[in-house]
Each structure stands twice: as structure tokens, then as C-alpha cells.
Structure 1
Amino acid sequence: MTRGARSTVALMVAAVLGLVGCTSSTTDRAGGRGLQAVTVLEIAQLDDAAPSQVQAYATEVEKESHGSLRLHFNDFWHKGEVDFEKHTLEDVTGGRMPGAWVGVRSLDLVGVTSFQPLVAPLLVDSQAMQDRIFSAGIPLEMARGLEGHGLVAVAVLPGPMRKVLGVRKPFREPEDFRRALLGIQGGEIPESTAKALGATFTRMPSGARLSAVDAYEQQVDNIFGSFYGLAAKYVTANINLWPQAMAVILNQAAYRELTDTQREILRKAAGDAIPAALKATQSEDDAGVAKLCGQDVAFPTSSDLQLAALRRAVQPVYDEIARDPDNARMLNRLTTLRAAVAAPPDVSACTRPGPGAHSGSLPEGTYDMVLENDARSQCTDSPPQGTPGQKSWYSLEVRDGRVTIRQRIDNQSAPWGVGYYGFYSTLRDRIRIDSLNARWSFDGTALRLNDMTGGSCSDAVLWTTKPWVLRSGPVQGAPVVPDGTYEAGLTDADRHLCDGKPGGQGLNPQSDPRGKPTSFSSITLDAGALRGYAREGRPTVIPRLEWVGSYRVYGHTFELTTLTFVDGPEHWDRLTATFTFDGTNLTLKPVGTWPCWARVWWALHPWTLPKKTP
């Protein structure tokens, strides 16, 4: 038998036995050893190829051990089963399989809850955040939770973000999930998240058909690989539910058979594989998005307000996780780390055209920038902003000839405040923002302004010190609200809804026993300017001007600003709503706190557009 044949037999024997060292002392013709002791770890996996992150780990194990320790993957383990991860874990703990790789979010199916903070919904929503977590060794701390469950995690690896795939519509806010059927995989957290969002859920095996569900939580590479992009056309760009972090696990019996040296090899390889796994994760996401774009899948974006509403909706999941004191401490630690990383949610989007394709127009979208407060210390023309030594977060929205800067001073978790609102125009490489003039450039990712004149020192520092990094382009498929006059009516019963509440008397009910509208309202939208009128009793009477103000529309958000009552002291800086427009009817859904009368007057009934502005 040749040396090569003996090596093949040794490896085959190792594979059959599951976990074994095979040794031979045969010497080859050159005087070297023909075979070495090889230990093969049998690892169960769902598909026919290990994820690139797990492959990176297997490569590091073989390299670190000089080929004496290897991972061998058993394909299609419980393929097609709804509870494939639970059954795989039971096979490992029951000794029917020495090891497996699984998503960490499934470990609570066998009582291991220490990874739940890592997959808390919308917490770890960027690769920058995941990178920091793994660089700090936090997942290995979580892996100690496997003690007492008959399992050892020899590696914990980062993974792609799990997104929301909308089958027939996009899913951007809690209302979209309410009463929807959400397909899920994994353990308790996906279940709890679906319930918190008002959805029902069904567990789905790998490659399941989408015909029975309204949405599915999945990663973009799997969406493409399962041909889901041919049937479903919406992946919410910036909703990242949780990372698909994964663990390579062994049962205690298999782990005890390893030598101390082999255990150290597995430990060191786990750390060494992290950079390659992170790089593979980003490449996997980028490639998956590009492929889905080729199938005309849209990537609509949730607004900041919609994301905030989603975070509020899933708070019960956090409360549930925090019932365990150790998990509560870990949640606080990750939340603090998230604020320090200061990264917005990763955004999946189809490649935008380069600057030349915009014909000189400033690329629309939302841009982010973080600035040290001390950067303005040189300016004496305005009071300092923020605490010295701290930094502040800024978001720039460019849309329809308008720019809006929102700011969070000193703390990324502080409420957003509006720092600037104005209009802009461009001519080749020059931009004018109200009285400010500057040069601008855009490289596909970063917007840079320089040589600014016409403003204060503080203006120049804010706009030009650092590049503004594109977070998301305009919402694909977002409705457009045309200028024109919209009409709605309130019945006598409607006008009594706010009786006894502040401002309720302003609805001034006029009785109509037939329940027909007694107040006929109209609003005129004209290039950002808003006027509100009312007609009492009959739609033919002369309308009375009641409200003046401004409005802006971005994505699926409708914002009323500087709203003033003509005949009284009432004034509101901002009322925000999400909206739908079907070509005729404009429907507003208030976000945040609205006075009762405003909810009735503005949002109780749709506004109908009988006449567009020419």
C-alpha cells in the first residue's frame, strides 16, 4: 500500500469513528514520516457546505495544528425539518453526534439563555457593533452559559444580519407587522419579537416556500440562494433584527477526549478566525444584495421615527431577557457599547449611480456625521455647543431641494433635535444653502463640502470639518404627496371625541342629527407651505383660514412644522405622522404625542385630493 493510500484510509477511519486519533509510524522513501496522528471532529450541518465563517475557523484549526486536527462536516443534517436546530442540538447533547455548528439564537431551545442579549432585537444592528463585540471577547463570556448543559462552544463566530423579507409589501413599522404571519427560525427571541410586534409566527425549515407567510426573517444571501427574490420583492434596508452569529459546539464527551494541546488549538483558532469571518460576513451581505438587486428586489428604508417605534414595540422582549440578572447586566453592557460605537444601522441598498449620473444634483438621502464638540472651540461668533471633550451626532437629510440637520448633543441616545432646516440649489460643483456657499463633491459614499462662505465660523465647522457619510438613499417605492387641495369632513360625533380634553372645545360641534359632516375642512399643500381651512355646516360656505405653517415629506413620514392657529395662541413646532397616499386619499397616522383635537382634525379621516395644483 502506498503512503497516499494509507493516509486516505486513516482519514476515512477517523471520519467513520467520529472523533479519533489515527497514527502510523511508516517512513517514506525520503526518510520522513508517512502519516501523522490526525484527529477529526465530526460536525453536523444543515446544508451541503459550511458557511464561510465556519470554513474560516476550520482553516485556522488545520493551520494551527499543522494538519493534525481537522473538522469534517456531515451535510444535510435534519434538512427539511421545521425544528432542525433543536433536533441537531439534541443529537449532540445525546451523544448521537460529537459536534455541530448552530446559530447562537437557537441555544435557548436546550436551556442556554446566555446568548439572548446578543440577539436582542435591533440591538446589534451594524457590523461595526458586531466587530467591537467580538474584538472584546464578549461572545466567549456568553459561551460559559453552556456549562451544565453538556455542551462546549469551541468557537463563536460573527454572522450576517437577519433582515425582514416582505412577500407582498414592505415592513417598516409596527403597524406593518400587526396581524401579519411572520416566518421565523431559531429559538425564543424570534418568537417573542413576533409577538411583541403584534404578528403571529410560524417556524419554517430551510428552503421553505413563502406562499403561506406575509414576511420572513432571513439573511440576504439565503434570500437569494432560496430563490425568494423571485416571489417576494421587499427587503427592509435598515431593519437588522439580530446578527446570525454562530457557534461550533461539541458535547462534553467529545471535548474530554481531546488533549490540552488540541483544546488550546481550538481556542486560538477561534480568535484567529474572527477577522476573516467578519470580512466574509460583509462580503456575503454585499454579494447577496447585489444579486437581489438583479432580481428587482426593492430595499425600502424605515425612517428614524419608524425605527424608534419598532424599538419601543420590542421592549417587552428586553424585559423578558433581563429577568435573568446576568443577562440584564450583559444587556446594559451591550447598550453602553452600542453608544460608544456610534454606528447607525447597516443599510442594504442597490448600488447608486456615480456623481456624473446626477447631472450636477446633490444626491438625495440621509447622511451621518460625528463631530467632537471641541471642534467649535475656535469659533467666537456663537456660544459653545455641548460639553467640552465630548462629541455629538448629526444626521443630514437631503430631499426635494431641502436640507435638514438633526442633532444629538453629547449622547447618541439623546432625543433628536433639529439643528438646521433650509433650501439648497447646486450649479456644477457649487452648492448654495440659503446664505451659505460652498464647493461639494460626492464619491458614492461620502459627501464633502469645503471653501464655505456666507456663514459663521460655527456653520463652516459643522458643514465642512468632516465628510457626511451616506446612510441611505431615498426610500425606494415611497409614495409622493402631490401639491394641491385636500378635503375631509367631521361629523357631530367626531367633534365630541375630545370633550373634556385640552383643546377639545376648539372643535366647536354643530349638531346634525343625521350624523353627516358638520365641519368641512381642507388643506392646501404648496411647495412646503401649508394652509388649513374650515367650512361650517355646508361645503358651499366661504372657507375660513384656520391654520398656517409648513410641511415636509420624507420617505413615509409627513411632518407638520411651525403650525400656527390664525385666531389664537396655539402653536406647534412639529407634529409627525407616517402616511399613505393611493393617488387620491392621503391618510396620516400620528407618531408620538399629538393633542386630541389634532388627532381628530388631521388624522381621523383620510384627506381626499379632488384637485391637484397645476
Structure 2
Amino acid sequence: MGIEQEVPVKRRIRGTWAAATAVVGALLVSQGCSAPPADRAGGHAGAEATVLTLANPGGAVEPPQLVAWAERVDRLSEGTIRIEFRNEWREGEARPDVATLDDIGKGKADMAWVGARSFDRVGVTDFQALLAPLLVDSYELEAKVFEAGIPAKMLAGVRKAGVVGIGVLPGPLMRLVGIREPLVNPDALKGKKIVSQDSALIDESLRALGAIPVTAPASTDLTSYGGAQMPLGAVVGRHHDRDAKYVTGNVDLWPRPLVVVMGKAAHSRLSPQQRALLTRAFKETVTQAVDVSRAEDRQSAPTLCRLGMKFPSASSADLKAMRSALEPVYAGLRENPRTADWLEQIQYLKDTTGVGPDTASCPATSTTAGPLEGTWTRTMADGDWRHRTGDETWTERPPNGMWTLAFENGILTKTDPDGETERWPYQTFRDRIHLAGSFTVDATFRLDGDRLTFDRFDFGDCTDCGGYAVTFGGSEQPWVKEAVAR
């Protein structure tokens, strides 16, 4: 999910625990469609279907915008076309998109999504106007650009890369993340290594702002760099609050459109009706994709604030300095007549929409502690795990020893005896708790003095996450609250 994608889910031992990420879009997608959701392999039970494999070079979590599209395909086709995600495609590589395009051209999967930014590495410059720095700087403007059909017109150019364009969806806005200091103007960026994606235009834009672009895998630790550009959801999902301190709240560098392409051989096997249905599904998913991206920003910012990150804003003078520094980039873009025309169309939409940059900031803090606030511990041994699973032969158990749940300011940190931690944004209502991670968990909790128990678990769409009911435990062995030192 490039550096911007969410942390892959690291499943171990029958899905007993996973490295949780804050992917709020998965929940929003399930709320956005009224039809029965397809499973991740797509389709409805018993229906004969055309199965299309889709390579996901972004990790183990499917982008929620594409999940919405896959579910729309399932609904429109009545289960006769199924989208099957192939996750962690080219995982760990610094330049996965270009390699993925080559894979699709060779038929290693039927389809793939790649960032629009990467096409200029294979000679396709049609998306440059959509990615022009500081141009599309709000979700309202991004929606207008897609409603006008501009990205759909750009899509035809991908044939030069040896693939067939299927559709484009709007994605999240990219932000400037500062590791040790705010990145609010060219002076702050000067000479700093900024982790980016594989894109000639983005590299050129960062250099114009005085930075040194560096391409790195999505899982890169940022502590040795000066900053990064990524969406807010990725800052949460990749736990970059551990190695970064700042997000420039009112600098929206460019959007991250998601482009789905297909191999020519796979495309030729589809009927004209099937091809038309895939395109129709993209058109009908645009609004939902914008809503998911916007909602992810709105929920990610408060989470990052609770985790200690700050959201400084660039001043009017700072923004003017950035735009002045980027003028040579725009001059180069206007040399291409098609790009110049699209730039003019997008600028017109921006002027007539009259909306300024989307701004992320920390909300007013609440001093009211929730009912679970504090640290709770529980010690588990072999016999306890076997008893909880009902399987006396189960040897693939989590670690023995003391487990800890720390609830603080809307964040749950779960630590196992080996010191491995997971963090989940959480909310409580009456006796229910909702955890928002790479999957969602809902459960009932019961407090009895300094004793805490959980039961009635619901793991949403996740089919192999039931092991969490074991690690959180039932009512027979409670968590015990640590006394607060006075």
C-alpha cells in the first residue's frame, strides 16, 4: 500500500493475532453498499463465475476503494464476475508498480492496480495533470475532476505500457510527514531526504521544493530520513507515529489515484458485456471512493493526535513560496499540449468550485477518561490456551506469560509476553467496545471492580481472526487492573 499503503497484516498461528492497522475504509465500504457483500474471492455461493485475479502490490490489506468496486462488480454481474485479490504482490520491493505492470503484461495475474504516479516510468505521461503538485488539493475538487471524466480520458494512454486500462478511482490526498521538524516551506525541505514513490514527476516536484527524493519499500523505518509523503491513513497504518512527529496539515501535495489495468490476453477473453460491466462499476464507485478517502482522513487525524503527532500549518507566505518553487515543474508540464489542456480544465474546476486545501488538524481534547482507561494484565500458560480453544492437542499457541492491555486516550496497546505490541483505535458505548484495525472487532466487556472480561466477539468480514477471542479471553479468566502509583 509504495510507502503509502497500510501495514500488511502479519498473521501468525491460526490468525491468533495480527499487526493491527487503522484501515477505517473497510468498515465504511461495508456500510456503503446495500447489497449482500461478496466474499474476498467475490461472487455468491453456487454461481458460475468468471474469476479475475487482481494483483495488489500494496500489502495484505486491499484498498477499500477497490473493495467497493469489486463488490459493485459482484452486484451488477449477479455473482458471475468475481474479483480475487492477490495480496502482497511484490511486497518489500522499493519499485513494485513498474514490475507489477510487467507481470500483468506477461499474464502472471489478470489485473492489477498501480498508482497513477508510476506510469511516467514506463513512458506514459497522460496522468501528469492529475498529479500536478498542489493542484488537486481537496476531496471536493478530486470528486469534480472525476465527475468531469478527466481521469477516464487519461486512461487510454496506458496501452503504451502494454496493458489495457480498465478504470481509475480517486484515492487519498498525499501529505508531508516530518520526522524531527515540521515541513512547512522550501527552507524546511531543503536538503532533506524525503521517502517517496517511483515517479519521475513526484521526484521532480520534491527536488523543486529543495528536497532529495528517495524511493524505498513501504515498510521502511523513517528515522534515518527527513520526511515522507503519504496519506494520513498510511501514517496510522504503518505506525509512523513511532518515527515521525509532524504532518503538515494544510499541504495536500497531490492525490493518489488508483489505476486498474488488465493484460491483453485476459482482456480478450472477456465478452463485450463483461468489459462494459467492469467500466460501469468504476463509474458507480467514484462517489463512494471519495467518501472512503475523506472519512479515512477524518478518522486518522484524531488517532495520530492521540498518539502524540502534531499538525502544523504552512502560512500564506509558506504556500506562496512552495508554489513559486514549483513553477518550473508546471512550465515543463505545459510543454505537452494534452497535459496543458487538462491542467487548464482542472484549474477551471478548482476556480469554480472555490474550495481551499483540505486541512487536517487535532480536535479539541477531552479530559473525560473512558471506563477502560488504565493498564490491565493477565498471565497465560499452556493449559490455559488448550482450555480456551477446546483442543487439547493445540500446540501452536501464543506466548506464555503476562499479557497487557493498556487503554489510553482512545488507543488500545496490546503487548504479548515477547514484547510484541499491537495498537488499535477503540471506542466504547455502554458495554460494547469497537476496535478499528486491519479488520474490525466488536465485543461486549464486563467490569467487576478491578476485573475485566470480554465475550460475544464479532470479527466482521475477517474469517480467520477468531483467535482473538482466545487472546482477549472469555469470562473465566479476567484481566486485572494495575494499581495506579501515587
What band does the TM-score fall into relative to the shorter chain?
A: 0.5 to 0.7
Secondary structure at 1:302's aligned position in 2? coil
Q: Deviations over 1:405-461 (max 9, x none)?
A: xxxxxxxxxxxxxxxxxxxxxxxxxxxxxxxxxxxxxxxxxxxxxxxxxxxxxxxxx
Report whether the alignment pairs 1:199 with 2:211. Answer: yes
Distance 1:230 1:148, change over 3 A: closer
Residue segments in structure 1 that go unaligned for 5+ positions in a row:
1-32, 355-614
Letter in 2 for 1:334: I
Equivalence for 1:456? none
For 1:246 and 1:320, how far apart are their aligned partners in 2? 24
Report whether the alignment pairs 1:42 with 2:64. Answer: no
Deviation of the 1:114 alpha carbon: 0.4
Aligned partners of 2:247 and 2:312 also within 8 Å: yes
Report whether the alignment pairs 1:296 with 2:315. Answer: no
Deviation of the 1:268 alpha carbon: 0.7
Equivalence for 1:451? none
Match of 2:327 among 295, 299, 315: 315
Equivalence for 1:67? 79
Equivalence for 1:260? 272
| Equivalences, count | 322
For 1:37 and 1:150, how far apart are their aligned partners in 2? 30
Secondary structure at 1:147's aligned position in 2? helix
Deviation of the 1:148 alpha carbon: 3.4
Aligned partners of 1:160 and 1:243 also within 8 Å: yes
Secondary structure at 1:164's aligned position in 2? strand
Provide TM-score, normalisation by structure 2.
0.64
For 1:273 and 1:181, how far apart are their aligned partners in 2? 36
Report whether the alignment pairs 1:179 with 2:191. Answer: yes
| Bigger Cα Rg | 1
Match of 1:218 among 221, 227, 230: 230
Deviation of the 1:132 alpha carbon: 0.5
Deviation of the 1:351 alpha carbon: 1.1
Q: How do residues 241-280 of structure 1 correspond to structure 2 at under 5 angstroms? A: 241-280=253-292
Deviation of the 1:294 alpha carbon: 1.1
Relative contact order, higher structure (CA 8 A, sep 6+): 2
Equivalence for 1:281? 293
Letter in 2 for 1:335: Q
Q: Deviations over 1:202-239 (max 9, x none)?
A: 10111111122101001111111111112211000011
Q: How do residues 324-403 of structure 1 correspond to structure 2 at under 5 angstroms? A: 324-352=336-364
Letter in 2 for 1:338: K
Distance 1:95 1:298, change over 3 A: same
Aligned partners of 2:123 and 2:160 also within 8 Å: no
Equivalence for 1:168? 180
| Identity, % of aligned positions | 33
For 2:46 and 2:308, how far apart are their aligned partners in 1? 53
Secondary structure at 2:313's aligned position in 1? coil
Secondary structure at 1:241's aligned position in 2? strand
Aligned partners of 2:223 and 2:244 also within 8 Å: no
Match of 1:120 among 113, 117, 132: 132
Report whether the alignment pairs 1:100 with 2:84. Answer: no
Deviation of the 1:36 alpha carbon: 3.9
Q: How do residues 536-575 of structure 1 correspond to structure 2 at under 5 angstroms? A: none
For 1:172 and 1:112, how far apart are their aligned partners in 2? 31
Say what the alpha-carbon RMSD is for the aligned residues.
1.6
Distance 1:312 1:350, change over 3 A: same
Secondary structure at 1:275's aligned position in 2? helix
Equivalence for 2:93? 81
For 2:197 and 2:109, how far apart are their aligned partners in 1? 22
Equivalence for 1:190? 202
Provide TM-score, normalisation by structure 1.
0.51
Deviation of the 1:112 alpha carbon: 1.3
Q: Deviations over 1:61-118 (max 9, x none)?
A: 0000000001101111111111111111111123322211111111212221101110
Q: Deviations over 1:341-389 (max 9, x none)?
A: 11110000111369xxxxxxxxxxxxxxxxxxxxxxxxxxxxxxxxxxx
For 1:323 and 1:212, how far apart are their aligned partners in 2? 37
Equivalence for 2:167? 155
For 1:148 and 1:48, how far apart are their aligned partners in 2? 29
Report whether the alignment pairs 1:53 with 2:65. Answer: yes
Greater fraction strand: 1
Aligned partners of 2:193 and 2:226 also within 8 Å: yes
Equivalence for 1:412? none
Report whether the alignment pairs 1:144 with 2:156. Answer: yes
Aligned partners of 1:89 and 1:110 also within 8 Å: no
Aligned partners of 1:103 and 1:186 also within 8 Å: no
Deviation of the 1:146 alpha carbon: 1.6
User: Which contiguous aligned blocks of 4+ residues in structure 1 show a shift greater than 6 angstroms?
Assistant: none
Secondary structure at 1:119's aligned position in 2? coil
For 1:334 and 1:61, how far apart are their aligned partners in 2? 29
Match of 1:237 among 239, 245, 249: 249
